[in-house]
Structure 1
Amino acid sequence: MAERYSSFNSGGRMWLLQRVTAAFLLIVLAFHFFLLHFVHHADEVTLAASSARMEQLSYYSLMVLFLVTATFHGVNGVYNALINQGLTGTKRTVVKWTLVAASVVLLFQGIRTANAWAGGFPLL
């Protein structure tokens, strides 16, 4: 039988965060599908309605938290998959910092977009 290998230390902090973010993402994704596919039908979803939802602090906060959580979960998963494939040394360091930089850019632009939709919350 093949030996199981994972870059996550079972029971470690990153292992736990990966699972917690996965659970959170499932819940928020279910909320998204329910709200935007069953409560509001496709012909009812407009930019103005989306902007109105984003003006509510609770919805705005949920969407920003969704962005942060999805970014962490995705980047952490990709990084650990590459480590599991044998990425080591300088390449590992370059990939790590490239993913960190890409995450920062994604979060910065995502929050700027959320702020624009919400009418300019002064977060960034």
Structure 2
Amino acid sequence: MAERYSSFQAGGRLWLWQRITAAFLIVVLAFHFFLLHFVHHADEVTFAMSAGRMETWSYYSLMILFLVTATFHGVNGVYNALINAGLTGVKRRAVRIALGVASLLLLVQGFRTANAWAGIDLIPIL
């Protein structure tokens, strides 16, 4: 019988958060498909419509939460898959740092894009 191996610690919070974010992502993706494929067809969606949705706080907040959740879920999943594949030592630390930097860059650019679509200027020009 094969031995079960997981990089997640039994009872650990990262394991739990991986499952919570997966459930959240399924719900948000269902909302996305319903809104953009059944209510509005892909050929009807314009930049102005997207910007209009982003100007409402409920939609903007959902998209920001989606960005953070998807980033965590994806990076945590890739990192743990690499650990499960046998990544150890210096390479493990390098991958952790690289994924951390990539996450930060993704989040910064995602916030910038969401704010631009929503018309939010966090750094006003003097």
TM-score (norm 2): 0.94
Q: In the alignment, which residue of structure 2 is the partner of 1:22? A: 22
Equivalent-residue separation in structure 2 for 1:108 and 1:48 (angstroms): 23
State the match for 1:60 in structure 2: 60
Query: Which residue does the alignment assign to 2:85?
Result: 85
SS in 1 for 2:86: coil
Partner SS state of residue 7, structure 1: coil
AA paired with 2:103?
S
Give the corresponding residue for 2:3.
3
Secondary structure at the aligned position of 2:122 is classed as coil
1:14-41 deviation digits (Å, cap 9, x = unpaired): 0000000000000000000000000111
TM-score (norm 1): 0.96
Q: Which residue of 1 aligns with 2:70?
A: 70
1:117 partnered with 2:117: yes
Offset from partner CA, 1:48-71 (integer Å, 9 cap, x none): 000000000110010010000000
Aligned to 1:33: 33
- Relative distance call for 1:24 and 1:121 in structure 2 (3 A) is farther
The alignment-based identity, stated in percent, is: 75
Distance across 2 between alignment mates of 1:52 and 1:21 = 27
**Count of equivalent residues:** 123
Q: 1 CA distance for matches of 2:42 and 2:69? A: 26
Q: Which runs of 5+ in 2 are unaligned?
A: none
Separation in structure 1 between the aligned mates of residue 25 and residue 10 of structure 2, nearest angstrom = 21
Aligned residue in 2 for 1:100? 100
